[in-house]
Amino acid sequence: MTVLRFVLGDQLSLDISSLSDIADGDVVLMCEVADETRYVRHHKRKIAFLFAAMRHFAEDLEARGIKVDYVTLDDPQNSGSFTGEVKRAVERHKPDRLVVTEPGEWRVRQMMADWREEFSIDVEIRADERFLCTHERFADWAEGLKELRMEYFYREMRKDTGYLMEGDHPAEGKWNFDHDNREPLKKAVRAPERPTYSVDDTTEAVLELVSTRFGNHFGSLEKFDYPVSRRQALHYLNWFVDEALPDFGTYQDAMRQGEPLLFHSHLSGLINCGLIDPREACDRAEEAYREGKAPINAVEGFIRQIIGWREFIRGVYWLHMPDYAASNKLNAQRRLPDFFWTGETELNCLRQCFEEVRESAYNHHIQRLMVIGNFCLLCGFDPREVQEWYLVVYHDAYEWVEMPNVVGMILYADGGLFASKPYAASANYIDKMSDYCADCAYSPKTKTGEGACPFNLLYWDFIARNEKNLRGNPRMNRTYATLDRMDGEKVKTIRKEAQAFLEGLPSGGDY
């Protein structure tokens, strides 16, 4: 009896459920397909990273004696879609059964729904056990709750997993040490130098393929040095835990020009594609804490991002799809300006983030949330366009994780399903947490008139413009009290200048 085991590009783990009972004679199918590269036109680096990781994973499987049927993008017979490639593989191998681990994205899950009938074959779709929280567990937890709060979910996950627990109590007496994690970077603080990984023949072939086939996609392929194999990924995880984790918490919210990573892990791409298991990342971090090598604020902060935010975001996605994609509670309609693609803007904070993402397909969380995301929220950009941008530009972007972060976290487009208020901020926050403002054409301290930072104008314009939706929110009371106390003429000026800025935005561009 032959079982065809289909492994997707973001399921690159030997422990993936679709391989758990692999036997002699089974075949693992992996395929590079055009449809996945163009349902949005991903950053070149993301495609290159994923194809290189897929090819290395296939080599690892083969080295273990597993039969792999790997279809490359340039195979002349390649049909260009998952469905087409499974169909062809069924014809080639005549398996008795098809086994696959559930995909991360709704779109792909819908595709699979018809396969049993289409191929007249038994199709088994298994749970993705890399996640710590099952769909059922999340739905049970969310049942009857009007608002979903990550913090309470996270505490459940801490108890379930035992991470940083002392019996029934959280280590060092607190669930959350975020309060200690908001330090701006002092000048003397230096981030550790990252390890780089050389390009072997397999990756070289992928880089050539991507530059030929996707030359007109956004982003750069230069200096590609990210881990692409399990061995490299493990080496990288160990480096992070030893060298960067100890300061990860303290400087988690800080930004510095020319230093995109600081103490962040840069593990999201590796975790999301399967090369690193979220549990092993948390195990290593906890070990460092128990051995006294990393403090509680760093380790708790890191583990919270993974067993808290990451699991929570996935839970929200599956609980609310497919309707969630169209959320637009604030009725935001503005087109995304073309400088999101070209990077040509005088707002230095945005320019820095756009340049970094073009080069590396990465921005850290605060850049995504408080610089770019904040700007999208304040300007009222169409959530669909913002979703697409975030899905295209980041190497770690898959819809299950990108969408709730965009719709719920930055745009408040779901009306506050899990954010208790919009993450809106004026220039003050960016000025405090970064050195961007010192090199900017605008001044963060200037509220109106010549040189006024657009974030200052847009902030109050956003608050006034969305009064109908936001004034009733108790967490916005102080903000509306301040607006009420502001001089009427001043508010008019701010809104007029904000309007002029918005109208002057370059029109939406293609990418």
> Footprint of ligand FAD on this chain (CB under 6 A)?
264-268, 271-272, 302, 305-306, 309-310, 313, 364-365, 368-369, 373, 390, 394, 396-397, 401-402, 405-406, 409-410
| Of the residues 442, 459, 460, 511, which one makes contact with ligand SF4 according to CB under 6 A | 442
User: Given 3-state DSSP classes, what are the helix, strand and coil percentages for the chain, each rounded to the nearest 5?
Assistant: 50, 5, 40
Per the CB < 8 A criterion, the answer to whether 365 and 285 are in contact is: no
Minimum Å gap between C-beta 58 and ligand DLZ is 11
Containing 98, the helix (H) or strand (E) segment is strand 97-101
Two structure tokens written together for 354: 């756009």
Report what 104 binds from ligand FAD, ligand DLZ, ligand SF4, none; CB cut-off 5-8 Å by kind. ligand DLZ
Minimum Å gap between C-beta 270 and ligand FAD is 8
How far is 302 from 43, CA to CA, in rounded Å?
27
Of residues 389 through 418, those in contact with ligand DLZ by CB under 6 A are: 398
Between helices 230-239 and 278-290, what is the axis angle to 10°? 30
Residues in contact with ligand SF4, counted by CB under 6 A, come to a total of: 15
Per the CB < 8 A criterion, the answer to whether 321 and 172 are in contact is: no
Two structure tokens written together for 167: 């019996």
Report what 103 binds from ligand DLZ, ligand FAD, ligand SF4, none; CB cut-off 5-8 Å by kind. ligand DLZ
How far is 68 from 190, CA to CA, in rounded Å?
45
Within 310-444, where are the H helices? 311-320, 339-342, 348-360, 365-366, 374-379, 383-393, 399-404, 427-433
Per the CB < 8 A criterion, the answer to whether 270 and 227 are in contact is: yes
Q: Please report whether residue 440 would count as binding ligand SF4 according to CB under 6 A.
A: yes
Number of residue whose CB is nearest ligand DLZ = 9
| Of the residues 431, 435, 461, 497, which one makes contact with ligand SF4 according to CB under 6 A | 431
- DSSP label at residue 334: B
Minimum Å gap between C-beta 263 and ligand DLZ is 28
What's the maximum distance between 2 C-alpha atoms anywhere in the chain?
79
x/- map, 13-42, ligand DLZ, by CB under 6 A: ------------------xxx--xx----x
Number of residue whose CB is nearest ligand SF4 = 440
Stretch that binds ligand DLZ, among 98-106, 184-192, 317-325, 425-433 (CB under 6 A): 98-106
Report what 427 binds from ligand FAD, ligand DLZ, ligand SF4, none; CB cut-off 5-8 Å by kind. ligand SF4
Two structure tokens written together for 68: 């792999």
User: Cβ–Cβ contacts within 10 Å for residue 481, how many?
Assistant: 9
Phi, psi of 207 (to 5 degrees): -60, -40
How far is 46 from 77, CA to CA, in rounded Å?
24
Of residues 40 through 79, those in contact with ligand DLZ by CB under 6 A are: 42, 47, 50
Report what 33 binds from ligand DLZ, ligand FAD, ligand SF4, none; CB cut-off 5-8 Å by kind. ligand DLZ
Report what 440 binds from ligand DLZ, ligand SF4, ligand FAD, none; CB cut-off 5-8 Å by kind. ligand SF4
Please choose, from the candidates 266, 256, 265, the residue with its C-alpha nearest in 3D space to the C-alpha of residue 188.
Answer: 256
The string over 342-376, giving b where at least 16 C-beta atoms fall within 10 Å of a residue's C-beta and e elsewhere, is ebebebbbbbbbbebbbbbbbbbbbbbbbbbbbbb
Of residues 341 through 370, those in contact with ligand SF4 by CB under 6 A are: 347-349
Report what 41 binds from ligand SF4, ligand FAD, ligand DLZ, none; CB cut-off 5-8 Å by kind. none
Minimum Å gap between C-beta 485 and ligand SF4 is 24
Which one-letter amino acid corresponds to residue 317? Answer: Y
| Helices and strands counted in the chain (H then E) | 25, 7
Report what 374 binds from ligand DLZ, ligand FAD, ligand SF4, none; CB cut-off 5-8 Å by kind. none
Residues that bind ligand SF4 (CB under 6 A): 347-349, 427, 430-431, 436-437, 440, 442-444, 453-455
Residues that bind ligand DLZ (CB under 6 A): 8-10, 31-33, 36-37, 42, 47, 50, 103-105, 108, 398
